[in-house]
Amino acid sequence: MKKVIISLVIIAVLAIIFFAGYRYLYKQADNTFKLSGELQMTQVDVAFKVPGTISHRYFGEGMTVQKGQLLAELNNETYLAQQKMAKANEDAAKWGLEELKATLKKSGVSNNNLLEKTKSQLDAATANRELADYQLSYTKLESPLDGVILSAYKEEGEVVAAGAPVFSIGDVNNLWLRAYLPENKSDAVKVGQKMIIKVDSMPNEKFEGKVVFISDSAEFTPKQIYTTEERVKLVYKVKIEITDTKGVLKPGIPADAYLEE
């Protein structure tokens, strides 16, 4: 009988320990601080500086590009002809100035007004040639940064105006998580605090992040919010910079941020 009582006591103690442990773990899991949101990138629209017809487009959506890489070209026949004409006019103006100098020297006559007028004509011709050079160079569109093509707005054969976006490029070196901090937990996160970022598609991967911005004023919960605390009505906008993307994260992916352990 004594052994039975001892066994029952041991079982009861183990049950209490198990229950207490379960409650502790459940509480810890339930109280795990988490911010949820969407990954975003700095986006840059790139466009030709001159109008024309796209003759070649070398990249499409989702493709990675490097700074200075040629993205697209315009048909340059018109600009090439303008450059040749401007160069010919400049050469003619140079020849005219040299001829005038030689004539004045040979005749022994000084005519500063005519000389200055001819020099001004050469300066104008040189300016026109330089402009034609620039316009011809603008028929090539290069990437201003290392990134990924998020959108390709134009196709080969399309006529584009100067300044009309041809591509939208995401800066792979400037990725962040846009999240919302519940008002009742506003003291849990500070600017400069390190965070751990996780995404559902890569459950075993952890990405380092840092809080770089917290809004000074609360706002009503956005309609499309990713936090599980749906009843929270006031939140603070938070920006968490991803300091190590490992080259695999892309904008638009839902992600969670946890306090660094």
User: Is 146 exposed, middle or buried, given 0-12, 13-18 or 19+ CB atoms closer than 10 A?
Assistant: middle
DSSP-derived letter for residue 222 is P
Q: What is the pLDDT of residues 123-167, one digit of tens each?
A: 999 999 999 999 999 999 999 999 899 999 999 999 999 999 999
Identify the band that residue 22 occupies on the pLDDT scale cut at 50, 70 and 90. very low
Residue whose token pair is 């029952």: 8
Tokens of residue 156, six digits: 């080969």
The predicted pLDDT at position 225 comes to 55
Identify the band that residue 188 occupies on the pLDDT scale cut at 50, 70 and 90. confident
From 39-48, 183-192, 193-202, the region with the lowest mean pLDDT: 183-192
Q: Report the chain's terminal Cα–Cα distance, integer Å.
A: 50
Average pLDDT, the chain: 84
pLDDT at 4 over 60: no
Which stretches within 155-208 are classed as H helix?
none
Give me the DSSP letters along 200-251. Answer: TTEEEEEEEEEEEEE-SS-EEPPSS---S-TT--EEEEEEEEES--TTT--T
Domains of the chain, by residue range, sit at: 32-43+170-259, 45-167
CATH architecture for residues 45-167: Beta Barrel (2.40)
Q: Are 40 and 176 in contact (CB under 8 A)?
A: yes
Tokens of residue 71, six digits: 């993205």
Q: What's the whole-model pTM score?
A: 0.68
From 51-65, 185-199, 214-228, the region with the lowest mean pLDDT: 214-228
CATH for the stretch 32-43+170-259:
2.40.30.170
